[in-house]
Chains A and B, each alone.
Chain A
Amino acid sequence: MKAGSFVKKNFSVFMTFVIALLLLVFISVLRPGYANVNNLRVLSITASFLGLTAMGQMTAILTGGMDLSIPWMFTIAAFLTGNLTQGGNEKLFFAVPVILLVGVLMGAFNGIGIAYVGIAPVIMTMASNIIFQGLLVGITGGTPGGTAPQALKDFANGSLGGVSTMLLFWIAISVAFYVMIARSPYGRRLYAIGNNDTVALFSGINVKLMRTSAYMVCGFFAALAGILFSGRVSQLYLGMGDPYQMQSVSAVAIGGVSLLGGSGSYIGTVAGVLVLVMLDGVLSALGFAQSVQKIIYGVVLMLAVLLSSRKQKGRR
């Protein structure tokens, strides 16, 4: 496909990247020296974490749903990491797959409630979020402890050749995810059930199973992000996962993925993640008060989603 028509076809995604870039340029002009290696590294790490959760969220949204339970799946994974490894590297090898499995199971819980029992995704995941929170808080009596092993800390915070390892990790996983979502038969089926349940059903797709699997994927990514995040912070705290709930949805929406499901590209989601992270960075760099930051954040979110949805409709 020639470059010109490629841009035209994916114009809104392209524009979203441009917006992220503009934000970077904007802040570099106002605060010269902002775009230094260190800042960019920090930004890239933040983007990587949001990016991981956004991958899972996108999978759920593609099927026409949403996963509001990411925060506590994330947090449970983080605390489990601390607990199972007791800060030592040796147990990591065994702990990681176990925790990822836990994430998948939590996602399955969501998926079954949504696909088989028929509970609306917002309600089911909202409730499960609270349930997961209750489980963690209840079992640990409100003060869960634990520290992450050094290997994770190095991975989450370190860099390889000047680029943060988290960023490299995110890029690597993104490639795999992209193939799954955009090129594999699984991805096709996912888009189909988000688009039209009935047609998918009549085409021989097991709609309920597919839908459940989407939430399992989301659980997987939430857990993955949580495991790595335990290395990122020096002290685990209970509210760690909360920002990712709405931010993951926002990133996906800004990226042009319709909240009704069935359309949107992963590249758009990546762009959405970048915009959000840049926006956050710009707002804090400008030194505005928290209040102003939030106001601008809300306005930009609205405009960004408006922009991407308009382009979507225009294409039809």
Chain B
Amino acid sequence: MKEVVVVEPGKVEIREVPVPEISSEDEVLIQMKAAGVCGSDHHIYHGSNPCSTYPRIPGHENAGIVVKTGKNVTNVKEGDHVIVDLLSSCGECYQCRAGRKNVCEHVRVRGSGADGGWREYFTAPALSLYGVIRASGDIRLRGKKVTLRSPKESIRNGIALVPEERGIQGLILSESIRYNISLPVLKKISNPFQVSPKKEHAVVDQYMEALQIKAESREMAASNLSGGNQQKVVMAKILAMEPEIFLMYDITRGVDVGTKKEMFTMVRDFAREGRPVVFFSTDVEELVKVCDRVIVMYDGKAGADLRGDALTKENIVGASIGNPVEVKTYGEEGEQE
């Protein structure tokens, strides 16, 4: 098989070597499918990463498929898609035994202090693997199970999404505010033959006013708006759909503080009107400020359901790394995104 080796800083070789063998019954052999190239790898190449030793096979962001398992391996099986933990710990020192493998006294990074994933196959302890999990579970709307196979079906069920990448998924940047806001509600503002300019302008103006979108006119191209205003246009278009349930994915990314505040108020207003909002964010402060209830995912399952007094920053962070929190665990839904 081929492997990439940084022999010494500045010198890279591609070598042809035999496929490695599993050296213990707790290891697996992984066929590499994808490995990330990161700034650290550049440093490794240039010799400016202090933790690296040479010669070294880089590659600390690794994903592959398990092709062979040792006899003792139980957590993965052949054919599983897995991600390999970049940290290699000894398992025996105090920290490891306390469950804190990441600060193991003999920790090495696969790809820096130990050989990594830039090769066709490599071996790793089974316990360092994380399965790439596929979503499973039911979605229940008002108690009834639904299958939502397309955005159109979701919208018909009253669910609307404020997507992650507003420039790519939320707006057509080259078109005007008016065009973007009216796109999901064409049926409402037109008869089969014609889009009514009067109705269109009315709807657009209504939402531009309600959301305080700062623009010269509704004809302004979306690309000329600030990030915050762009996000507002996305919100406007969602609101125009008059959904009952909002899905919001990381909506405050790249948005100025003032607009953030406006958005939080908006979200709380929806909630007060009795419309549920499923709000995804990785900003812990935001979560505490905005949400009534936070479900923290861990290890592919819903880990902790925090409400009321238990909804604190510490609990969210703790739950996200697997610390047991003093509340009941929630076991039903799986997230689908």
Chain A–chain B contact at Cβ < 8 A: yes
Residues of A in contact with B (beta carbons under 8 Å apart) = 179-180, 183-186, 188-189, 192, 195-196, 198-206, 262-263, 316
- Interface residue? B86 (CB, 8 A): no
- Interface residue? B194 (CB, 8 A): yes
Task: Known A201-B151, A203-B237, A204-B155; judge A188-B172 contact (CB<8 A).
Answer: no
- Interface residue? B190 (CB, 8 A): yes
- Interface residue? B168 (CB, 8 A): yes
Task: Known A202-B151, A204-B155, A204-B184; judge A185-B192 contact (CB<8 A).
Answer: yes
Q: Among the listed B168, B186, B221, which residue makes an inter-chain contact with A188, where contact means beta carbons less than 8 Å apart?
A: B186
A206 to B155, CA, bound (A): 11
- Interface residue? B187 (CB, 8 A): yes
Is A263 in contact with B174, judged by CB distance below 8 angstroms? yes
A198 to B182, CA, bound (A): 16
- Interface residue? B32 (CB, 8 A): no
Q: Digit string of B190-206 for contact with A (CB within 8 Å is 1, else 0)?
A: 10111100000000000
Task: Known A185-B186, A263-B174; judge A204-B152 contact (CB<8 A).
Answer: yes
Is A195 in contact with B175, judged by CB distance below 8 angstroms? yes
Q: Among the listed B152, B190, B237, which residue makes an inter-chain contact with A184, where contact means beta carbons less than 8 Å apart?
A: B190
Task: Known A179-B193, A183-B194; judge A196-B168 contact (CB<8 A).
Answer: yes
Is A183 in contact with B195, judged by CB distance below 8 angstroms? yes
- Interface residue? B310 (CB, 8 A): no
Which chain A residues border B152 with CB–CB below 8 Å? 201, 204-206
A20 to B195, CA, bound (A): 32
Task: Known A199-B169, A199-B171; judge A185-B187 contact (CB<8 A).
Answer: yes
Instruction: Give A198 Cβ to nearest chain B Cβ, in Å.
Output: 5
A206 to B18, CA, bound (A): 51
Is A203 in contact with B183, judged by CB distance below 8 angstroms? yes
Is B170 in contact with A202, judged by CB distance below 8 angstroms? yes
Is B169 in contact with A202, judged by CB distance below 8 angstroms? yes
A186 to B193, CA, bound (A): 8
Most B Cβ at <10 Å: residue of A179, A198, A263: A198
Closest 7 CB pairs of A and B: A185-B186, A203-B184, A204-B155, A203-B183, A185-B190, A195-B172, A198-B169
Is B170 in contact with A316, judged by CB distance below 8 angstroms? no
Interface residues of B in 152-183 (CB under 8 A from A): 152, 155-156, 161, 163, 168-172, 174-175, 179, 182-183
Is B193 in contact with A184, judged by CB distance below 8 angstroms? yes
A-B pairs with beta carbons under 8 Å apart, 19 shown: A179-B194, A183-B193, A183-B195, A184-B190, A184-B194, A188-B195, A195-B174, A195-B175, A196-B172, A198-B168, A200-B183, A202-B151, A202-B169, A204-B151, A204-B156, A262-B172, A262-B174, A316-B174, A316-B223
Which chain A residues border B186 with CB–CB below 8 Å? 185, 188-189
Task: Report the interface size class on chain B.
Answer: 20 to 34
Nearest to B221 among chain A residues (CB) is A316
A206 to B193, CA, bound (A): 18
A201 to B161, CA, bound (A): 11
A198 to B165, CA, bound (A): 11
Which chain B residues border A316 with CB–CB below 8 Å? 174, 221, 223
Is B195 in contact with A185, judged by CB distance below 8 angstroms? yes
Task: Known A202-B161, A203-B184; judge A184-B192 contact (CB<8 A).
Answer: yes
Which chain B residues border A196 with CB–CB below 8 Å? 168, 172
A115 to B135, CA, bound (A): 26
Nearest to A188 among chain B residues (CB) is B186
Nearest to A200 among chain B residues (CB) is B183
A192 to B181, CA, bound (A): 12
Instruction: Give A91 Cβ to nearest chain B Cβ, in Å.
Output: 32
Instruction: Give B197 Cβ to nearest chain A Cβ, in Å.
Output: 9
Which chain A residues border B195 with CB–CB below 8 Å? 183-185, 188
Which chain A residues border B190 with CB–CB below 8 Å? 184-185
Instruction: Give A160 Cβ to nearest chain B Cβ, in Å.
Output: 27
A179 to B195, CA, bound (A): 10
Nearest to B184 among chain A residues (CB) is A203
Nearest to A186 among chain B residues (CB) is B192
A204 to B161, CA, bound (A): 10
Which chain B residues border A179 with CB–CB below 8 Å? 193-194
Instruction: Give A32 Cβ to nearest chain B Cβ, in Å.
Output: 46
Task: Known A179-B193, A184-B195; judge A192-B168 contact (CB<8 A).
Answer: no
- Interface residue? B241 (CB, 8 A): yes
Q: Among the listed B150, B170, B193, B223, which residue makes an inter-chain contact with A199, where contact means beta carbons less than 8 Å apart?
A: B170
Which chain B residues border A203 with CB–CB below 8 Å? 151, 183-184, 237
Which chain B residues border A183 with CB–CB below 8 Å? 193-195
A203 to B183, CA, bound (A): 7
A305 to B303, CA, bound (A): 58
A300 to B155, CA, bound (A): 48
Which chain B residues border A199 with CB–CB below 8 Å? 168-172, 183
Q: Digit string of B217-254 for contact with A (CB within 8 Å is 1, else 0)?
A: 00001010000000000000100010000000000000
Nearest to A195 among chain B residues (CB) is B172
Nearest to B195 among chain A residues (CB) is A185
Which chain B residues border A186 with CB–CB below 8 Å? 192
A159 to B172, CA, bound (A): 46
Which chain B residues border A204 with CB–CB below 8 Å? 151-152, 155-156, 184, 241
A1 to B150, CA, bound (A): 40
A183 to B182, CA, bound (A): 13
Nearest to B162 among chain A residues (CB) is A202
Instruction: Give B244 Cβ to nearest chain A Cβ, in Å.
Output: 14
Q: Digit string of B117-160 for contact with A (CB within 8 Å is 1, else 0)?
A: 00000000000000000000000000000000011100110000
Which chain A residues border B179 with CB–CB below 8 Å? 188
Nearest to A316 among chain B residues (CB) is B174
Is A192 in contact with B172, judged by CB distance below 8 angstroms? yes
Nearest to B156 among chain A residues (CB) is A204
Instruction: Give B153 Cβ to nearest chain A Cβ, in Å.
Output: 9
Most A Cβ at <10 Å: residue of B182, B187, B195: B195
Most A Cβ at <10 Å: residue of B156, B171, B186, B190: B186
